[in-house]
Structure 1
Amino acid sequence: MKKPSKLSVRMFLLLLLCVVMPLAGVCIYVRVSMEHFIQEKLSEKVIQNISRGERNICDNLQNIAALTNVFVYDEELQKRIADPDTSQYENTKYFDQMIHKLSIASGFDFVQDMKILLFDGCGRIYSNWSMNYQDYQFLLDQDWVKKSRDNNGHIVWAMFNPAYIIGEKKDQTYISLAKSLLKDYTTGNVIGTLIISIDQKKFSDLLMEYAYDGDMAYICVGEGTVLLQNDTQGLVHEEDLKHLYRETKEKKSGSLRYQTGGGNFLISYYTIPKPWVFNDQQMKVFHFTNYQEVTNQMEMIGRRMNLVLLIVICALVLILYISIRMLVKPIVKLSGQMENYTLDMDIKDIDMERSDEIGQLNRSFRQMSVNIRGLFEQLRNEHEVKEKYRYESLRAQLNPHFLFNTLSTIRWMAIIRGADNIVDGIDALAHILKYSMSRENCLVTVAEEVENIRNYLYIQNCRYGNHCRLEIDLSESIMNLKTAKFILQPIVENAIIHGYDKDREEILIRIYGFAEAGSLNIYVEDDGVGISPNMIRQFEAYRKDRVKESKLTGIGIKNVDEYIRITFGNEYGLTIESLKTRGTVVLFTLPVIREEKSGDEKGNDCG
Structure 2
Amino acid sequence: MIKNKSMSKKFISSFIILIVIPFFIITIVINSLYEGVLVSHYNEKIEQIMVQLSSDIEIELRRIHLYTAKVSNEQELLPLVNSWYHEKDSIKKLETYEKIETKLDYLFAYQGEINSIVFFSKNGEVFKYKDPLYKNDSDVKKSSLYKECMGNKGKVLSINNFNSSNDVNAGRIDFLVGVSPEYNWYNSDTEFIYFEIKTDLLNSIYSRFTNDTVGKMIIADSKGNIVISPDKNLLGKNISEVKYLNKISNKNNDYAPYKYRYKKDIKYISKYTSDKSGWTVINIIDYKALTKDTTNITKVLLMIFLIFNLLFILYSKMFFKDIIKPIKELVETMKGVKDEKLEKITITNTNLEEINELGSSYNKMINDIKDLIAERDLKERERSKEEIKALQAQINPHFIYNTLNVIKLMAMISKAENIRKVTDSFMKLLRATFRSKSTFITVREELEYLDNYTDIMKVRFGDNFNIVVNVQDNVKDLYIIKLILQPIVENAIIHGINDIDREKYITISGFLENGKLIFQVEDNGIGMTEDEIKNVLNNKENDKTGFNHIGINNVRSRIKLNCGQEYGLKIESEKNKFTRVTLIHPILTEEER
TM value normalised by structure 1: 0.38
Larger Rg: 1
